């Protein structure tokens, strides 16, 4: 399958092409506004599918809106008529096509051009009226508030918010790409379709529109709605998480997509950062992540022969896993009757339960509340242990009580 992508170096084009090239059944022809005219003609003559993404939204001259957004689209449709070809045509449009500003008018006329082409030729034509699109590789300080906020906040630069309560609509780039590709894969679960007629446009292809022929509108899902102030606060929290160690709630699909976007704007020399370590004669300890939803994760390095712990918790639950070295984890119930019951069953008294653990096995040990516990480095080298606790440590309410195992 040969696929022509116009606007190949644009934000959506770059992401779409990466996904298309993962397919073994696809040969991609990449066209940009500065490509030789012959490349566009060649692509139109060969393509089974055309993704027409090329356009402008911040031109130097207002006339460029029509020259690029509408005229180029009309030229493509006229060339296909001349070549007597009717490939599947997907047009990237904008929700601003419903507005009467110069950009919106140029996009609406581009839509009408492809709908006319579909009606006249019977080609399948799909128009995506997209709201703001966010994700990796979008140009900052241009026309995307998400890209600008992520780029500037990642670098400690100021951002401007004219109206913090203004709500915007956004779709994520991977959802856009998935919806675009679904048009050639026969899947419709990720997009909702509306005929051009249902949106006040002339339907291309008459009754054929209801069968997926002619002109149809498509909408990417999910659409996220967020206030500008909330957007900025969320992105700032991403930056601050390296210090606070608090991670956001990634069960929220918007937050997870936004975090992936923010990370993609980090300077390449800033991917790495050092955790704050607490050191004493036993070794070092560093907190890694905190969350009110999942507790916290921390890591320790312990010298040979050293034991950490000798305490219990009323409510807090912990997991231990040795990453490197050899250790013995010892636990003992603080209730005498529990120890007595165990000695009766086992035939001998054994207050302490021992778990030999090693970094060679990655064995997890759960420590329930009411069991005092300790971990001893019994190896010849430093012991590296990863810990998880189901709550973030609160110095005012530590829920940690000393008692020798």
The tens digit of pLDDT for each residue in 31-40 reads 998 999 899 9
Q: How far is CA 244 from CA 239, 265, 284, 331, in A?
A: 9, 20, 19, 32
Q: How many whole angstroms separate alpha carbon 35 and alpha carbon 4?
A: 13
Q: How many whole angstroms separate alpha carbon 203 and alpha carbon 212?
A: 12
**Structural domain that includes position 304:** 277-402
272 contact partners, CB below 8 Å, separation of at least 6: none
Helix (H, G, I), strand (E, B) or coil at 354: strand
Q: Are residues 147 and 223 in the same domain?
A: yes
pTM here is 0.88
Q: How many whole angstroms separate alpha carbon 246 and alpha carbon 276?
A: 14
Q: Are residues 217 and 310 in the same domain?
A: no
Q: What is the CATH number of the domain that holds 174?
A: 3.40.50.720
Angle at 172 between CA 167 and CA 178, to 5 degrees: 145
Asked if 378 contacts 307 with a C-beta cutoff of 8 angstroms, the reply is no
Answer yes or no: is 126 within a domain. yes
Higher pLDDT, 195 or 320: 320
Q: Are residues 336 and 212 in the same domain?
A: no
Q: Are residues 206 and 338 in the same domain?
A: no
Give 215's strand partners. Answer: 125
Question: Does the structure show a pLDDT above 50 at 393?
Answer: yes
280-301 burial, b for 16+ CB within 10 Å, e for fewer? Answer: eeebbbebeebbeebbbbbbbb
Whether the ω angle into residue 222 lies within 30 degrees of 0, i.e. cis, is: yes
Active-site residue identified among 31, 51, 103, 312? 103
Asked if 114 contacts 73 with a C-beta cutoff of 8 angstroms, the reply is yes
What pLDDT does 200 receive?
43
Q: How many whole angstroms separate alpha carbon 135 and alpha carbon 258?
A: 7
Active site residue 103: yes
Q: Are residues 287 and 374 in the same domain?
A: yes
Q: Is 157 exposed, middle or buried (0-12, 13-18, 19+ CB in 10 A)?
A: exposed
What pLDDT does 143 receive?
87
Q: Are residues 176 and 48 in the same domain?
A: yes
Question: Does the structure show a pLDDT above 50 at 228?
Answer: yes
Q: Are residues 99 and 217 in the same domain?
A: yes
The end-to-end CA distance of the chain, in Å, is: 69
Q: Are residues 45 and 155 in the same domain?
A: yes
Express each pLDDT in 308-367 by its tens digit.
Answer: 999 999 999 999 999 999 999 999 999 987 655 655 555 455 789 999 999 999 999 999
For the chain, the domain total comes to: 2
Higher pLDDT, 16 or 187: 16
What pLDDT does 190 receive?
35
Give mean pLDDT, residues 251-276: 97
Answer yes or no: is 267 within a domain. no
Q: Are residues 212 and 288 in the same domain?
A: no
Angle at 30 between CA 215 and CA 179, to 5 degrees: 40
Q: How many whole angstroms separate alpha carbon 222 and alpha carbon 220?
A: 6
Q: How many whole angstroms separate alpha carbon 123 and alpha carbon 213?
A: 6
Answer yes or no: is 269 within a domain. no
Question: Does the structure show a pLDDT above 60 at 15?
Answer: yes
């Amino acid at each position: 399958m040969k696929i022509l992508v116009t606007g190949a170096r644009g934000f959506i084009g770059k992401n779409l092409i990466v996904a298309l090239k993962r397919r073994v059944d696809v040969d991609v022809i990449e066209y940009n506004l500065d490509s030789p005219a012959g490349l566009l003609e060649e692509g139109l003559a060969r393509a089974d599918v055309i993704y027409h993404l090329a356009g402008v939204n911040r031109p130097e001259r207002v006339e460029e809106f029509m020259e690029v957004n509408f005229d180029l689209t009309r030229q493509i449709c006229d060339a296909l008529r001349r070549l007597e070809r009717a490939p599947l045509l997907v047009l990237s449009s904008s929700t601003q096509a419903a507005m009467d500003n110069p950009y919106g008018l140029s996009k609406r006329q581009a839509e009408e051009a492809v709908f006319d082409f579909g009606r006249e030729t019977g080609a399948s034509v799909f128009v995506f009226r997209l709201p703001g699109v966010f994700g990796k590789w979008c140009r900052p300080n241009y026309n995307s508030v998400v890209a600008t906020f992520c780029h500037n906040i990642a670098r400690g630069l100021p951002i401007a918010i004219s109206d913090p309560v203004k709500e915007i609509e956004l779709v994520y780039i991977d959802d856009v790409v998935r919806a675009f590709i679904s048009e050639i894969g026969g899947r419709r679960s990720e997009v909702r379709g509306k005929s051009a007629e249902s949106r006040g446009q002339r339907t291309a292809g008459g009754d054929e529109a209801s069968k997926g022929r002619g002109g149809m509108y498509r909408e990417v899902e999910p659409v996220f709605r967020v206030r500008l102030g909330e957007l900025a606060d969320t992105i700032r929290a991403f930056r601050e998480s390296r210090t606070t160690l608090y991670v956001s709630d990634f069960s929220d699909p918007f937050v997870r997509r936004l975090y992936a976007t923010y990370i993609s704007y980090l300077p390449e020399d800033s991917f790495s950062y050092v955790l704050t370590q607490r050191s004493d004669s036993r070794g070092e300890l560093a907190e890694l992540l905190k969350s009110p939803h999942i507790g916290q994760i921390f890591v320790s390095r312990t010298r040979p022969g050293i034991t950490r712990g000798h305490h219990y918790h009323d409510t807090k639950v912990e997991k231990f896993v040795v990453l490197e070295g050899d250790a013995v984890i010892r636990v003992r119930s603080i209730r005498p009757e529990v120890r007595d019951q165990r000695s009766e069953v086992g035939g001998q008294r054994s207050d302490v339960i021992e778990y030999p653990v090693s970094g060679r096995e990655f064995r997890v040990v759960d420590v329930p509340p009411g069991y005092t516990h300790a971990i001893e480095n019994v190896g010849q080298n430093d012991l590296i242990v990863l810990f998880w606790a189901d709550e973030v440590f609160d110095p005012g309410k530590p829920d940690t009580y000393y008692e020798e195992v």
